[in-house]
Structure 1
Amino acid sequence: MGKMLIWPNANYKKDVIDTLIWNRWLLRVLGIWPLIYPDTTKIEKILAIFSFALCWTVLSLFLILTSIYTFTDRSVMDEKMKMLGPLGYVFFCMLKYFFLIIRHKSFRRCINILAKDWRMVKEENHREIMLRDAEKGHLLSKFCIVFMYCGGVSYNTIMPFLSQAPDNEQNITVRPMAYLGFDILFNLQLMPVYVFTFCLQCFTGIVMFNITTSVCCLATMFVAHACGQVNIVLARVKNLVEKECSRKKFEQCMAIIVQHHVRTLKFSASIEDTLREICLIELVGTTLIMCFIEYCLITEWNNSDRIAIFTYFFLFISFVFNIFIFCYIGELLMEQCSKVGHTSYKIEWYNLPGKIALDLMLMITISRHPTQITAGRLISLSFTNFGNVSTQSFFISQTHTHYA
């Protein structure tokens, strides 16, 4: 048998950066990237502090002004109901932002494990497996970014201009705004002030969209990497029976497989530990926001406002897809972890020498209880619970419409 090819990954730093490319751009805007990625320059850290302060300022201003408008006599009941969605969205985004900050050490630990795996890869086919799974993570991240930004940009720009009347009954020009309440602090009748306020709202929307998409992209990339490591374990298991080695060599190969499997399980457990609070906020917050969007959809349907109907529908699809991504990656991780047991059983283990086959029983047993990503350890993210969330949001929105 020929000597095994050793393929050192000299470009592992580039591989890590390419794997986290979407997270890097999104988290830079939020000022969090230097917190979770240690290899950053001094200039990046200074810019991160500025971005962090700016993001928290605009989010806090948005929350205060919309809260005052929504919960006081400045708005009628119909406006209050429509503003509960944006108000809840900024509140939950700030919660996710907060947990991204306080859990930055956990995110950094996961990234360090990811970087170590890229550095430790020694065979070219294993690197190709990791690249394929990383590409799947990129694809899901792109879909999440496109859906969220298309829905959000439509709500912030298209709907205010095309679904509102330009003048009111007092013959005063009405400046279209996506979020009501900013006239408390700004005189929107002055054109320069209105342009500044509108741009401020758009920037606030970008910050909120970045928070939502960055959480989704981090979770997607971590799970994609874990699936890549599981696929490497599967490749090692399949190749085990093809080796014509001595008993000692088989034992060494089996030790490598078990060690790699255990390391992958620990990384999967770290993902669940890091994301469980954020996933709970995402699940609860998105479910409630979907209820308010459905209420607005029904209201605008009665008003026959086609632009508003299209905008709310696309926004609703964006949030549904966001929840679907979380449930999909949770289902994918469970499925991949279960494959280790199935693959270990399906190979020709009876041709292995001595008691080597008995070592596979441990992997089969562990695979019967695959790692799950949970929302606060209360509910697992899976296709079944995705259906439950969608159904519950519909019933709650119907209840709101009935009482309204």
Structure 2
Amino acid sequence: MQSSLSSAECIQLLARLPRGSVEKIAMWPNVHYKKDVIDILMWNRWLLRVLGVWPLVYPDTTRIEKILAIFSFALCWTVLSLFLILTSMYTFSDRSIMSEKMKMLGPLGYVFFSMLKYFFLVVRHKSIRQCIKILSADWCMVKEECHRKIMVRDAEKGHLLSKFCIVFMYCGGLSYNTVMPFLSQAPEHEQNVTVRPMAYLGFDILFNLQLMPVYVFAFLLQCFTGVVMFNITTSVCCLAAMFVAHACGQINIVISRVKNLVKSEQNNNVKFEQGIAIIMQHHVRALRFSANIEDTLREICLVELVGTTLIMCLVEYSLMMEWNNSDSIAIFTYFFLFISFVFNIFIFCYISELLTEQCSKVGHTTYKIEWYKLPGKTALDLMLMITMSRYPIQITAGKLISLSFANFGNVLKTSLAYMNLLRTAI
């Protein structure tokens, strides 16, 4: 990513934003904005580069990066499509028995929902690019050092959530891809034949796994496919965490301005009318950005919610089967994989709750200040902020279900209900 943004480019970036979104807000460029923008986009840059999506959401990339992105994009779709075709042929044919079919439904569903999320990442690239432009502009025009510290603090929270998501997903997924095939117990009917351990069944349709070079290639291909799927999941989570952390930072700046409003009026440092105008403009800008986040992520969150619920059901079923088989390695792997999916959907619900709470906090903070010391008519202007805070922004799954802690519990209960239904039916 190019980091050589000049002050003129910063102002041009602000000029490209929606009309009225930067009026009455201080536009002094932040001298640290180059490093700040690079730091906040760090995880998303590396994850989306692997998927070949980065040039779509961040236009200031070199020609070499765009060429490599096209190659990565084609390679990722090729391996995902190959994986989906081979596993589908094996799962829904007479080549597999019922236990193998149930074992492969989880990976098959995961690759299908990963491809859907990949598709929506590409379809929504213009919305993601617009959010990144607004984010970059906010870092460019932050004036006061205390406000920059607020933004840095919230950005660090977003980085922390991203790190947890990456660690859990990769540890659980790589354990399933590499550890379990080699260390778990082999089925009894395979003890007297040479078996090449594979995490995903069905690759023997196209590859002769008895040949060692072919087996190594197929095994590495499976691992690479797993990395692509993990990157899709973690990139979506990191995007959501980054955007929501930035929105929370902007709202915290609004709260800071509101707390200092009465002090500014008493000291006559700035006129109250100018101060309330700046606060209102900043608040509206933060709410618009939050609404853009919800609009950008709604389809992806719907796929994430439905896919995670179904896959958790299948993981729970596999965990119970391995518990009956007393396979400790497989039990540990499926348990860690289950925790990874639980944590992933928890992250989405947590950041949605965090955004909703921050939007509501503006109204509570506005009421708590010494508004009674302000002029009677001008104090009424604060009622607008209080009223707006009564309807906080919520991240939804396709505008059908709001992501919240209550619905997080419903996801867990639904997956258990589906698992009991599946165990009864089979």
TM bracket, shorter-chain basis = over 0.9
Query: Which blocks of at least 5 consecutive residues in structure 1 are unaligned?
Result: none
Deviation per CA, 1:86-113: give whole Å up to 9, x if none. 0000000000000000110000000001
1:229-248 aligned at under 5 Å gives the runs 229-243=250-264, 244=266, 246=268
Contact conserved, 2:28 with 2:141, CA < 8 A, in 1? no
- The match for 1:320 is 342
When residues 266 and 169 of structure 1 are mapped into structure 2, their CA distance, relative to the original with a 3 A threshold, is closer
Give the structure-1-normalised TM-score. 0.97
Q: Match for 1:386: what amino acid?
A: F
Distance 1:361 1:371 in 2: 18
Counterparts of 1:273 and 1:166, CA distance in 2: 48
Residue of 270, 273, 286 corresponding to 2:295? 273
Indicate yes or no: 2:403 matched with 1:381: yes
Query: Once the 2 structures are TM-superposed, how far is the Cα of residue 216 of structure 1 from its aligned partner?
Result: 0.3
Q: Deviations over 1:200-247 (max 9, x none)?
A: 000000000000000000000000000000000000000001113559
Aligned-partner SS, 2:96: coil
Structure 1 residue 164, shift from structure 2 partner: 3.7
8 Å contact 2:185–2:327 — kept in the other structure? no
Residue 368 of structure 1: aligned partner:
390
| 1:361-397, Cα deviation, whole Å (9 max, x unpaired) | 0000010010000000000000000001011101110
User: 1:117, 1:255 → 2: CA distance?
Assistant: 18
Verify: 1:15 aligned to 2:22, yes or no. Answer: no
Rate the CA distance shift 1:170–1:269 in 2: closer, same or farther, 3 A. closer
Contact residue 59 and residue 94 of structure 1 kept, 8 A: yes
- Cα-to-partner distance string for 1:282-306 (whole Å, 9 max, x where unaligned): 0000000000000000111111111
The aligned residue for residue 34 of structure 1 is 55
1:129-278 alignment, distance < 5 Å = 129-165=150-186, 171-243=192-264, 244=266, 246=268, 249-278=271-300
Query: What is the match of residue 292 of structure 1?
Result: 314
- Cα distance in 2 between the residues matched to 1:170 and 1:356: 83
Question: Alignment partner of 1:189: what SS?
Answer: coil
Deviation at 1:38, TM superposition (A): 1.2
Cα offset, 1:54, TM superposition = 0.4
Residue aligning to 1:47: 68
Structure 1 position 16, deviation (Å): 1.0
> Cα RMSD between the aligned structures?
1.5
Note closer, same or farther for the CA distance 1:169–1:177 as it changes in structure 2 (3 Å cut). closer
Q: Deviations over 1:328-354 (max 9, x none)?
A: 000000000000000000000011124
How far 1:44 sits from its partner (Å)?
A: 0.5
Q: Aligned to 1:174, what secondary structure does the other structure show?
A: coil
Residues 169, 316 of structure 1: alpha-carbon distance in 2 compared, 3 angstrom cutoff: closer
Instruction: Pick closer, same or farther for the CA change 1:398–1:281 going to 2, 3 Å.
Output: same
- Secondary structure class of the residue paired with 1:74: coil
Identity of aligned residues (%): 80
Give 1:402 shift. 1.5
Note the C-alpha offset of 1:249. Answer: 1.0
Residue 78 of structure 1 pairs with residue 76 of structure 2 = no
Distance 1:401 1:391 in 2: 15
Check 1:6–1:223 CA distance in 2 against 1; reply closer, same or farther (3 A cut): closer
| Whole-angstrom CA distance in 1 between matches of 2:323 and 2:189 | 22
Compared CA separation, residues 402 and 238, structure 1 to 2 (3 A): same
What number of residue pairs does the alignment pair up? Answer: 400
- Deviation of residue 11 (structure 1)? 2.7
1:165 deviation in Å?
2.9
Q: Residue 96 of structure 1 corresponds to which residue in structure 2? A: 117
**1:20 Cα shift?**
1.0
TM-score, length-scaled by structure 2 = 0.92
User: What is the rounded CA distance, in whole Å, between the counterparts of 1:278 and 1:81 in structure 2?
Assistant: 26
Which letter maps to 1:359? D
